[in-house]
Chain A
Amino acid sequence: MGGSYVQKESDKVAVKDVNLTIKEGDRLGIVGRNGAGKSTLLHMIAGLSSPTSGEIVVEGKVTSIMTLGLGLRDDLSGRENIYIDGEMQGKNRDHIDPMIEEVISFADLGEFIDYPVRTYSTGMKARLAFAMIAFIEPEILIIDEALAVGDASFATKATTRIKEICAKGKIVIIVSHGMESIKAICNRCLWMDSGSVVMDGSPDEVTKAYIEAVRSEDEIALLDKFRRYVGKHIYVHGFDFTDVSFIDSVSGQSKLLLESGENYFLRLKGNVASVSNVIINVKLIRIDDTLFFEETFSIEDFVFNQQFFGIEIEFSPIILGSGIYRLDVSINQESKCVAQSLSIFEVYVLNPPSGGKPMLITPVMISLTTN
């Protein structure tokens, strides 16, 4: 299969120079950023749109789940809607009747199943729509980001159901932003960017590479943001910060994106005009204004050559929940702020725990640095 697809409005090529063969038994996952051309590719395979050049050869019957709840009629009851959906899949009543109880119990809507759909909440509609997937007898199954529905317990049920349906299909192609569902369902993974295939391989390898790439792109974007937000204010001449940065204990490099659980130290350097009654205050504040860490040091212990100071605060390891944090350091003389440095950094968690955000922080070690 190969081809390209031109969208008329902007003459932008959505999918370009893609050549791939999908064989029976393939469970293909497609990952990529928004606008990478994933959905366009799916639409072309499903026959919903045609390539402007190139060719797509599909052998078998394609069933697609692009949007859930497409045919829901608000004025009809949930039960009647299930019949309509079955009819849209080309079934007659005799085929639908044996399955309807299963669909109803899966949707788990209680008495609402006989009420008009317009009385449903969004979540209930999604559950009904998802339950209807039962009618699908896939040969080639295409699923476009339809995996996440309902509350947590329903989402688990839904994922199990998707896996069951996928097991029935000869070929399954899934677009998802959920790396876990791709790893759970697929045996092959495609990473698309700007309409081309960047990588084609095992789900583990490709999702890992994809996440890495997204992370480094994000880091660049975050840095850009920092440049705008980072601020240094000098209120009294002679007091100044020359360096405020987190350093990776292993590589020795300055970082703005920290991995929770790894070792870092915070390096503070600067000038002071005097040392008497001068203290340095360090605060870590989460973006929602929760204070995580506050420490105050008397400057005298860290000053050399009368006017330079250097402090390293070790976080071994740093344990913060993922999120954006503000680092707020200030020099205060007689409880009046004389210099201040504000910066933003981000913490990510490689293996996020389920449940709430952890708010633990380990005690820190303070050492003097003179370089």
Chain B
Amino acid sequence: MMGFNKQDAILAFNLLKMNVRDRYLGSALGGLWAIANPLFMLSLYTFVFGFVFKVRLPGADTTLAYVVWLISGYGPWIATTEAIVASANSVVGSSGIVKNMAFKVELLPISAAFIGLISLSVSFVFLLILMICADNLPTWHLIWLPLVIGIHFLFVISIGIWLSAVMVFIRDLAQALPNLLTIILFLTPIFYSMDSMPAVIRNITFINPFYQISDAYRNVLILHIQPSFNGLVYVFLLSSVVFYFGLRVFRKVKGFFDSAL
């Protein structure tokens, strides 16, 4: 499929394993950091918004409801940032093998994106605990979850494959990317609800794929309704197009990585 075979899948999985291992290599707690880092961010936001600011959702009378709502959107966002950053840095970060090993380099940004699955899992567990506290247990709507995750990661990979190739030639991207992601975070209704946005911006927000993804997660996880069909189809089609052209461009320029790295 798309020029990949089973062997490539194994290699992509191995590369992901290597990526995770190398990240925490040499630190005493090792892989624990993979869990500790998102956990820290989630706890921090829960504390600040739940106990310091005591934010409430319109119509709800407890702060906990807001925290559950926040984490159901912010958890997947952590996964998004991690995946995009890891994917964007994957080619530059593995310059050694890119320059010396004959393999499908496009596997690097694809496999690196899956590193976001760790944070995603951690935030699901964190969210489940909060939901138990809030007496808002998940329902059968969770069967939509794999589809939502699938489209989420297809989207993230489609961006990552572009960024990883651009990064080789424009290294400044590594510095700019975290800032760009922060801007996107605040432009997307993740900390605040859609209703609090001015009407003009609200209409534009519907085409923000990041919004559609967090909305789908919220519907499935805590609101117990079906994800927006149109929203998911939109993100899926958008990601497919971006991915398709990203892969083509990537394959076209990868021959020049050797001299640019």
Contact = CB atoms under 8 A, between A and B. Distances in A.
Contact of B99 (A48, A62, A63): A48
A50 B22 contact: no
Nearest to B99: A48
Contacts of A43: 258
Contact of B14 (A44, A66, A92): A92
A7 interface: yes
Contact of B10 (A8, A70, A92): A92
B100 A67 contact: yes
A66 B100 contact: yes
A70 B255 contact: no
A285 interface: no
A71 interface: yes
A90 B11 CA distance: 4
B10 A84 contact: no
Contacts of A66: 99-101
Interface string B96-109: 11111111000000
B25 interface: yes
B230 interface: no
A73 interface: yes
A87 B8 CA distance: 11
B258 A70 contact: no
B14 A48 contact: no
A64 B11 contact: no
Given A62-B102, A64-B101, A88 B10 contact: no
A90 B14 CA distance: 7
Given A8-B259, A49-B255, A90 B99 contact: no
Given A76-B25, A90-B10, A64 B18 contact: no
A142 interface: yes
B140 interface: no
A50 B17 CA distance: 29
Interface in B4-63: 7-8, 10-11, 14-15, 17-18, 22, 25-26
A88 B8 CA distance: 11
A201 interface: no
Interface string B236-260: 0000000000000000001111111
B3 to A, nearest CB: 13
Interface in A183-232: none
A53 B11 CA distance: 31
A355 to B, nearest CB: 36
A48 B261 CA distance: 11
A46 interface: yes
A333 to B, nearest CB: 66
User: Chain A contact residues (Cβ within 8 angstroms of B): what range?
Assistant: 20 to 34
Contacts of B25: 73, 75-76
A142 B100 CA distance: 11
A70 B255 CA distance: 20
A2 B254 CA distance: 19
Given A50-B256, A71-B97, A90 B102 contact: no
A75 B258 CA distance: 27
A76 B18 CA distance: 12
Contacts of A46: 102
A196 to B, nearest CB: 20
B114 to A, nearest CB: 15
Contacts of A44: 255
Contact of A63 (B7, B26, B102): B102
A48 B17 contact: no
A363 to B, nearest CB: 56
B168 to A, nearest CB: 12
A87 B17 contact: yes
B38 to A, nearest CB: 24
B259 A142 contact: no
Interface in A50-75: 50-51, 62-64, 66-67, 70-71, 73, 75
Nearest to B11: A90
A238 interface: no
A70 B102 contact: no
A62 B102 CA distance: 6
Contacts of A73: 22, 25
A8 B255 CA distance: 13
B251 to A, nearest CB: 10
A50 B102 CA distance: 13
A43 B255 CA distance: 9
Given A49-B256, A70-B97, A73-B22, A88 B14 contact: yes
A315 B100 CA distance: 52
Contact of A84 (B18, B26, B101): B18
A47 interface: yes
A247 to B, nearest CB: 51
Nearest to A56: B255
Given A48-B258, A49-B255, 17 more contacts: A8-B259, A43-B258, A47-B255, A48-B98, A49-B259, A50-B256, A64-B101, A67-B96, A67-B100, A70-B97, A70-B101, A71-B96, A71-B97, A87-B15, A88-B97, A90-B7, A92-B14
30 contacts: A8-B260, A48-B102, A48-B257, A48-B258, A49-B256, A49-B259, A50-B254, A51-B255, A63-B102, A64-B102, A66-B101, A67-B100, A70-B97, A70-B101, A71-B97, A75-B26, A87-B14, A87-B17, A88-B11, A88-B14, A88-B97, A90-B7, A90-B8, A90-B10, A90-B14, A90-B103, A91-B10, A91-B14, A92-B10, A142-B102
